[in-house]
Every structure is written in structure tokens, then in C-alpha cells.
């Protein structure tokens, strides 16, 4: 029996999931805002323009649905526009990609899935709202919702190397600041594990085993490339955009025990060192 995965927002993480599932019996449909990508793409995904396309057939035929689009101040954009059709859907699994930003600032302390949601950034507050909307929708219509709170994403084509090579990478030092991260291929295997073992109502932190200061990651990337480590800059004196500065507003260490215990996941890249080393090795192999 062929499964159909519908990705509402066919972005970086969604594409990685498709690659992970490709060897199985799957049909893929995704949404994109890029007109040039619409149609049967080279990766075998039936891409629909959204907003603008009628997604009724895609939603009602989907055995699995992944929501990966960013919300706004009013919440999730797909739920706002497609709630009537989604209420008639009967997927075996629905996944919502959220963020660990929903936990807010914990001064470098630990959080897990039971930690109260106290975001301090606008993005975090938007995600809390979208999560609550999907949870209420799931409860009302009996749709098997799974929430995945993603840490900072990196992987092929997304990481510190381009900025290090260009000489634009910065080592901003804010004492006590730590971030959690996750390689996109580990996101894919975690989502796939949940698809194999669905647990409606499940919430999962998606991060690796090592929360680390951002300046350590930049220094390690420079060392892997054999390039000079960028000079340190104090956070208080650094010239930064409001957006860049907002990333330093929250510091926490995120527990990932649940993905291992409930989903049986063994991370391919348990820390940024192994992940960055793999990216360098791939680049050299090309």
C-alpha cells in the first residue's frame, strides 16, 4: 500500500524527511511559494503553489501530513485557511514542527517537554500560539497530532562554513550563553521514527546531546577548514541587528531523552563536532 506524505511548507526539514523515506513506498506532495518549483519536481515531489492552489485532494488523500511553515502573530497560516478541509482529513499521523524557543530563557538551565512554555521572543510566542491551535484542532476532530520542538538546524548547505570562508563569521561572547542544535538528517530520522511508532498527543524535543556556546562552534568550524579563528567580540559592545541580537535573548540546555526512549532514536550526529566533521568530509568527497 502506498503512503502519501503531504508537507505543508516544503522547506529544508521537509525535504530531508522525503529523502529519508524515499526508499519506501511513498507518494510525496508539498506546498511552495516559488512558482518556478511548482509541478513534479526533480526530487519526485508534486509541488503545489500555496496560497493559490486547491489542496483539497492532497489533504484528503494524505496518509501523513507534516506542517512546517512559520506562524504569524495570528497563528498557523495553513490552519487559518484550510481548517474546513483539514477537519475532514483522516491521516494516520500529523506532525507539527515547532521550536525549543517556546521554553523561553532559563539562564543556561535544563528544560524538557514538561517545562512550562514561557517564550520571551516574538517567534517563540507565535509558536506557542500555533501549537495551542493545532492541539485544540486535534482534540476537536480526533486528528493524531505530534509536536516536534526543534533546536537550531544545520546540515548540508546550512551551517557556519560559508561565513567562515567569507571572513564574515563572528564570535560573539555572552558569558553563560548556550544553544542546542540538531542536524537536519537527525530531524528526518526522528520524524520517520514517529511515523513508524505514532503516539497521538506526543511532544518531542529535537536536539543533539551537546548544548554549546555559539563561539565554540564558530571556532571549531574555522579549525576544520584550517582558517584563522575569528576574533572574540563582547556581546554588550557588538554591533548587531535587532534580529541577530534576539537570538542571544534566551539560553538553555534542552533534554532529548524522549526521542531516544520512546522512539528508539540513535542520533547520527550527537554533537556539533561530529556533524561539522561530516559536512567537511562530504564537501571534500565531491
pLDDT for the residue 43: 75
pLDDT for the residue 282: 87
User: Does residue 247 lie in a domain region?
Assistant: no
User: Does residue 264 lie in a domain region?
Assistant: yes
User: Does residue 119 lie in a domain region?
Assistant: yes
Whichever domain contains 257, its CATH number is 3.40.50.720
- State pLDDT tens for residues 168-193: 999 999 999 999 999 999 999 999 99
- State pLDDT tens for residues 239-272: 999 888 888 999 999 999 999 999 999 999 999 9
Q: What is the pTM of this model?
A: 0.95
User: Does residue 164 lie in a domain region?
Assistant: no
Query: How many domains are contained in the chain?
Result: 1
pLDDT for the residue 3: 96
Asked whether the predicted pLDDT for residue 37 surpasses 70, the reply is no
User: Does residue 59 lie in a domain region?
Assistant: yes
pLDDT average, residue stretch 205-226: 97
User: Does residue 81 lie in a domain region?
Assistant: yes
pLDDT for the residue 245: 85
- State pLDDT tens for residues 40-88: 555 789 999 999 889 999 999 999 999 999 999 999 999 999 999 999 9
HEC secondary structure over the chain = CCEEEEEECCCHHHHHHHHHHCCCCEEEEEEECCHHHCEECCCCEEEEECCCCCCHHHHHHCCEEEECCCCECCECHHHHHHHHHHHCCCCCEEEEEEEHHHHCCCCCCEECCCCCCCCCCHHHHHHHHHHHHHHHHHHHHCCCEEEEEECEEEECCECCHHHHHHCCCCEEECCCCCECEEEHHHHHHHHHHHHHCCCCCCEEEECCCCCECHHHHHHHHHHHHCCCCCCEEECCCCCCCHHHHHCCCCCCEECCHHHHHCCCCCCCCCCHHHHHHHHHHHHHHC
User: Does residue 48 lie in a domain region?
Assistant: yes
- Domain range spanning residue 122? 3-154+182-209+253-268
Amino acid at each position: 500500500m502506498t503512503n502519501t506524505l503531504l508537507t505543508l511548507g516544503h522547506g529544508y526539514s521537509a525535504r530531508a524527511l522525503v529523502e529519508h523515506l524515499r526508499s519506501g513506498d511513498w507518494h510525496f506532495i508539498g506546498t511552495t511559494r516559488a512558482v518556478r518549483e511548482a509541478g513534479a519536481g526533480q526530487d519526485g515531489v508534486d509541488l503545489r503553489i500555496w496560497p493559490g492552489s486547491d489542496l483539497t485532494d492532497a489533504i484528503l488523500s494524505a496518509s501523513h501530513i507534516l506542517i512546517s511553515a512559520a506562524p504569524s502573530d495570528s497563528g498557523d497560516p495553513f490552519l487559518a485557511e484550510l481548517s474546513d478541509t483539514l477537519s475532514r482529513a483522516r491521516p494516520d499521523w500529523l506532525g507539527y514542527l515547532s521550536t525549543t524557543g517556546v521554553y523561553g530563557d532559563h539562564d543556561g538551565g535544563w528544560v524538557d517537554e514538561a517545562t512550562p512554555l514561557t517564550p520571551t521572543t516574538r517567534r517563540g510566542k507565535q509558536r506557542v500560539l500555533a501549537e495551542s491551535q493545532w492541539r485544540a484542532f486535534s482534540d476537536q476532530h480526533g486528528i493524531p497530532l505530534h509536536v516536534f520542538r526543534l533546536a537550531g538546524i544545520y546540515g548540508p548547505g546550512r551551517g557556519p562554513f560559508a561565513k567562515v570562508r567569507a571572513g564574515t563569521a563572528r564570535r560573539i561572547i555572552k558569558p553563560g550563553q548556550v544553544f542546542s542544535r540538531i542536524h537536519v538528517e537527525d530531524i528526518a530520522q526522528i520524524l520517520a521514527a514517529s511515523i513508524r511508532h505514532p503516539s497521538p498527543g506526543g511532544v518531542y524535543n529535537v536536539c543533539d546531546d551537546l548544548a554549546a556556546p555559539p563561539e565554540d562552534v564558530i571556532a571549531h568550524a574555522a579549525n576544520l577548514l584550517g582558517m584563522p579563528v575569528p576574533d572574540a567580540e563582547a556581546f554588550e559592545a557588538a554591533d548587531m541587528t535587532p534580529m541577530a541580537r534576539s537570538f542571544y535573548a534566551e539560553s538553555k540546555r534542552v533534554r532529548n531523552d524522549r526521542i531516544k526512549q520512546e522512539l528508539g532514536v540513535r542520533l547520527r550526529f550527537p554533537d556539533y563536532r561530529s556533524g561539522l566533521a561530516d559536512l567537511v568530509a562530504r564537501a571534500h568527497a565531491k
